[in-house]
Amino acid sequence: MHEEQYNFVKIFERSFKENWELPAITDYGTDVTLTYGQLAINIEKLHILFKECGVKKNDKIAVMGKNNSNWIAVFLATVTYGAVIVPILQDFRANDAIHIVNHSGAKLLFISDINWEGIDLDQIPKVLAVVSLNDWHPISLALDPQKINYESIAQKFKAKHPEGYWAKDLHFDERSNEEIGSINYTSGTTGFSKGVVMPLNGLAGNIRYARNAGLVSRNSRHVAFLPLAHAYGCAFDFLACLSAGGHTWLIGRTPSPKILLKAFAEIKPTIILSVPLILEKIYKKMIVPQIQQPPVSWVLKVPFLDEVVCSKIREQLVQAFGGEFRQMIIGGAPMNPEVEAFLYRIKFPMSVGYGMTECAPLITFTPYDMGSKLYSCGRALPGIMEVKILNPNEQGIGEVVVRGENTMTGYYKNPQATKEAFTEDGWLRTGDLGQVDADGFLYIKGRCKTMLLGPSGQNIYPEEIEAKINNMPFVLESLVLQQEDNRLVALICPDYNEVDASGMTREELNAYMEDARKQVNSELASYEQISIVKLYPHEFEKTPKKSIKRFLYSNMV
């Protein structure tokens, strides 16, 4: 498509007109399905509401709540009106949400009833109106309530469109792709949230790539279980899908493997976006018990015979995800390398991508059928993003820096953080360590901030050690930290369900974890050895994209 066709606002104007009668979004588990035409009507009503509230171009509108059709309507209504959307992750605490609303200067807040329970109106004094995402009722107003209640807006809509609202009536005002589309506050593991200012061009860049790579198409089916307020799910399960005439089912509940497998079986998605944790849990529950038992464990060691077993396991796993998806895209966090290696061995249609909120989010990805490589997160998006390694060491490992269409303009009201985020010649610092091979494939080694130094200055990447620990039986997750004396400590959260099922006592669990420490150490260099294992009583606190908030545990050793 030429440049005009990638104007963000016009992409959706065309899609609504061309797909008016097709289903666009379904709130999974309910009977609520909206066609593109019905969604367009909701957007038009919200435009009327915005006007009644005195919202001007470039004003900020915040939205906070679980994935649902009203959330999507608010997002699209905001950007097509000329305002700036401020998505707030539903898992943020009330004080974090209050800070984001105030820091962004949001004039309106759309919020689910349950998220509103922890917020005091006096704490957000500049907000003109708070509206429920559950049913559009005004929760709180600094305006005349007769202006924006549901009945009043419906009457104004009918007066404006007495003969109904049809595809021919839809028109969104022109907006340059250089204008700000969103301010998305990061949920990073460092404990400090920053507002990523993303022009519409960055949002359009992900759509452009998804369509060119064939990831979305008319009538494609998506199961959106990642939070839409996070850039990953928003870009592909929502924006890219609806730009092409696809149909998205929105999962508003906590995405446990049980819930997801049921949804996959019913919906049969054509493409699946996931974070590693979900796939790893399903792999551990469904596949590991099979491959550890004879005769399967024996056959997997026999050339040619193993291909038959691998084929059967692959088919079983594909069917578990609905059986009709072209590929699964993994992103958001590092994947356990042993799990990835097995899935690669059985030719499971999966590719790992790499991105960050500051790039809306995609930076690198190579589709499964275009030669993705084991342990790599693909090549830079062709014609959209560039990647290079800054100050590489002898192994070619250094900080990953990027630039291109998807890149943010900076952090909102934070010039110091913006300055620190870019090199002097304009490359965005990712904070990740990586290397690029001769074919242009990127391999992530860890975070710059989490990299540890060995006794003789060796680089230690804790994520690689954790991946080995996490692959041990009875281990749910782990964190590798460094004491003041430079010794490494592994905080391990056991899989207590497996422990209880095995009848293992506390003493036996301690002894098992000590044996596991020795086994993992046998696979590590001398400077990477784990000196101590400490059991942790419950899962580590995580960001919405399931990365552990490491900063919370740095003082525990």
pLDDT bucket at 335, cuts 50 / 70 / 90: confident
Cβ atoms of 332 and 546 closer than 8 Å:
yes
- Residue 189 is predicted with a pLDDT of 40
- Residue 144 is predicted with a pLDDT of 66
Average pLDDT over residues 458-483: 88
**What class is the 3-211 domain?**
alpha beta
φ, ψ dihedrals at 84, nearest 5° = -115, 125
pLDDT exceeds cutoff 70 at 399: yes
Average pLDDT over residues 290-319: 84
Average pLDDT over the chain, rounded to whole?
Answer: 90
Kindly state the tokens that stand for 485. 């004396």
Domain 454-552 indexed as CATH 1.10.150.120: no
- Residue 467 is predicted with a pLDDT of 87
Topology adopted by domain 272-324+327-447? Rossmann fold (3.40.50)
pLDDT digits (tens, 9 = 90+) for 228-240: 998 999 999 999 9
pLDDT bucket at 435, cuts 50 / 70 / 90: very high
Q: Where is average pLDDT lowest: 74-83, 86-95, 376-385, 402-411?
A: 86-95
285 CB-near residues (< 8 Å, 6+ apart): 257
Kindly state the tokens that stand for 311. 């084929």
pLDDT digits (tens, 9 = 90+) for 146-189: 667 778 899 999 999 999 999 999 999 989 999 999 999 986 54
Q: Where is average pLDDT lowest: 117-126, 226-235, 291-300, 501-510?
A: 291-300
Average pLDDT over residues 328-356: 91
pLDDT exceeds cutoff 70 at 2: no
Which one, of 60, 58, 43, lies nearest residue 136 by Cα? 43
pLDDT bucket at 222, cuts 50 / 70 / 90: very high
The DSSP string of 281-346 is HHHHHHTHHHHTSTTHHHHTTSTTHHHHHHHHHHHHHHHHTTS--S-EEE-SSPPPHHHHHHHHHT
Residue 297 or residue 181, greater confidence: 181
The DSSP string of 414-442 is -HHHHHHHB-TTSPEEEEEEEEE-TTS-E
pLDDT exceeds cutoff 60 at 16: yes
Average pLDDT over residues 80-97: 91
- Residue 248 is predicted with a pLDDT of 98
pLDDT digits (tens, 9 = 90+) for 39-56: 999 999 999 999 999 999
Is 70 exposed, middle or buried, given 0-12, 13-18 or 19+ CB atoms closer than 10 A?
buried
Average pLDDT over residues 424-442: 95
- Range list for CATH 3.40.50.12780 in the chain: 3-211, 272-324+327-447
pLDDT exceeds cutoff 90 at 98: yes
pLDDT bucket at 545, cuts 50 / 70 / 90: low
- Residue 1 is predicted with a pLDDT of 38
